[in-house]
Chain A
């Protein structure tokens, strides 16, 4: 398991306890949710900010044709 110099030997993995696994999973879900939220915020804000001018541009293009 542990070598004399205090290093973990190759091939040895750390077994997480059930509580550690559960906490990590919950944190991952929370981070994923936050990132998804951030993407949605930027997407919706972009639509709100440039959407109306794009609609106007399209209407003017239609009138010119």
Chain B
């Protein structure tokens, strides 16, 4: 191969859309949504311009950690069917390009959030990126079946960042929002892992079903779902959402428990694993609905000074 061929081969064909894919847009959507809810629920005035800037910074920070994750995990991504088409394994972007992209976006998003909003929010964003890229991706993911349990914290931080953008602190309320996502993550992820076990096995990633067995995984999922039901109503119990939203959230938590119970009860006897697939689908709907309810309540409170049906008709 001549040098010219080498250079031609090395000249990137990457389009901006490929870089955007590095940011895990679907994860970013959830991050934007939960951060926005955290922001609107927090007590204190919101400047709409700064709120938009804050949400964009949080989204870009999340995207940056996604790019760093794809850079480090390119070897196992190429083995698993679910991730084989990501920008690096498919050859659209090189590992170095992804690393540079992730690092630049991490620094820019944290500095912008810190300078323009506040440094508590900036610091939590920086910690979130560090936690996802280093603690989860580099350390836990390949070494312990508790990887997504602890790593789930990275996905749970965004509403906390949103809250900190308004208050400049971390209150018990934002910890409750954190806890909902944190406890939701294991049953959500393991439902997927139960029917993608082969993939994780091939990539030597010690996901709970491969490492501890399906029976133990299903039992653990049930335990998390039991915890999640009362946690779903915690915003009402802590006084930062109304009774109607609290009751509906609790019902959603019970529905989550029911779907998880089905997974535990059927225990893989159904070869199609439809209980697991249903739980995975419902878990996404659950998180969206819980935060959508809180969003409606937060907006109602900001406009009228009262939550939806506070105290059931009070």
* Dominant SS among interface residues on chain B: helix
Per-position 1/0 for A5-23, Cβ under 8 A of B: 0111000001011011001
Min distance, Cβ A51 to any Cβ of chain B, angstroms: 10
- Checking B2, B15, B108, B116 against A23 with a beta-carbon cut-off of 8 angstroms, the contacting residue is B15
Q: Which of B10-28 contact A (CB under 8 A)?
A: 11-16, 19
| Whole-angstrom distance between the Cβ of B188 and the nearest chain A Cβ | 33
The A interface, classified by DSSP as helix, strand, loop or mixed, is helix
**Residue count of chain B within 8 Å CB distance of chain A:** 20
Tell me whether B8 and A14 are in contact (CB under 8 A). Answer: yes
Cβ-neighbour of B49 out of A1, A19, A44 (below 8 A): A44
B50 close to A27 (CB less than 8 A)? no
Who on chain A is nearest to B92 by CB?
A23
Q: Interface residue count for A (Cβ, 8 Å)?
A: 23
CB–CB B11/A20 < 8 A: yes
Cα distance A29–B19 when bound, in Å? 13
B47 at the A interface (CB under 8 A): yes
A57–B84 CA distance with the chains assembled, in angstroms: 59
Task: Note all chain B residues with C-beta closer than 8 A to A20.
Answer: 8, 11-13
Closest 9 CB pairs of A and B: A30-B16, A45-B116, A23-B13, A48-B49, A20-B11, A26-B15, A14-B7, A2-B3, A2-B2
B-side interface residues toward A, CB under 8 Å? 2-4, 7-8, 11-16, 19, 47, 49-50, 53, 56, 108, 112, 116
